[in-house]
Amino acid sequence: SYPPPEAPVILSPPSPPTDSGAGMPLRAPYEPFLCHAPPPDTWIAVETRITEYCLLVRLPRFRRDGITLSTRRRRILHVVADSWEPGGGHFERRVSFGYDADLAQVRAEFDGELLRIIVPRR
């Protein structure tokens, strides 16, 4: 028998690259255009159910075409959202799952404010 699966873990957003000599963050030419700080009213929550994991991501002022979901190493779900509208910004989170998550069958729906991501469990 297998040990119980690990609970999903929300990983911290990746830190910006730094200049190795000065230790200061490198600034991209587009940085003044796109603020990398997520808007203060965004959040992510994970609900564990018997047959699935349900991630709820609040993304007000974001549009569907600015949201990207991808998987990494078959255990990490990467959620990225960008908005170039006033009050927008950049939202990025990675969620690590145990062996029971089926990341090949992820479904998502977005109603203009709340992104609901369903990850089936095996």
Give pTM, 2 decimals.
0.80
Instruction: Give the integer Cα–Cα distance in Å for 37 and 43.
Output: 13
Residue-level pLDDT at 49: 95
Question: Residue 51 pLDDT more than 70?
Answer: yes
Question: Residue 55 pLDDT more than 70?
Answer: yes
Instruction: Give the integer Cα–Cα distance in Å for 13 and 43.
Output: 12
pLDDT in tens, 16-31: 555 556 655 555 555 5
Identify the architecture of domain 49-121 in CATH: Sandwich (2.60)
Q: How confident is the model at residue 2 (pLDDT cuts 50, 70, 90)?
A: confident
pLDDT in tens, 60-115: 989 999 999 999 888 999 999 999 888 778 899 999 999 999 999 999 999 999 99
Instruction: Give the integer Cα–Cα distance in Å for 86 and 106.
Output: 31
Ranges of each domain in the chain: 49-121
Residue-level pLDDT at 25: 57
User: Residue 10: enclosing H or E segment and its boundaries?
Assistant: strand 9-11
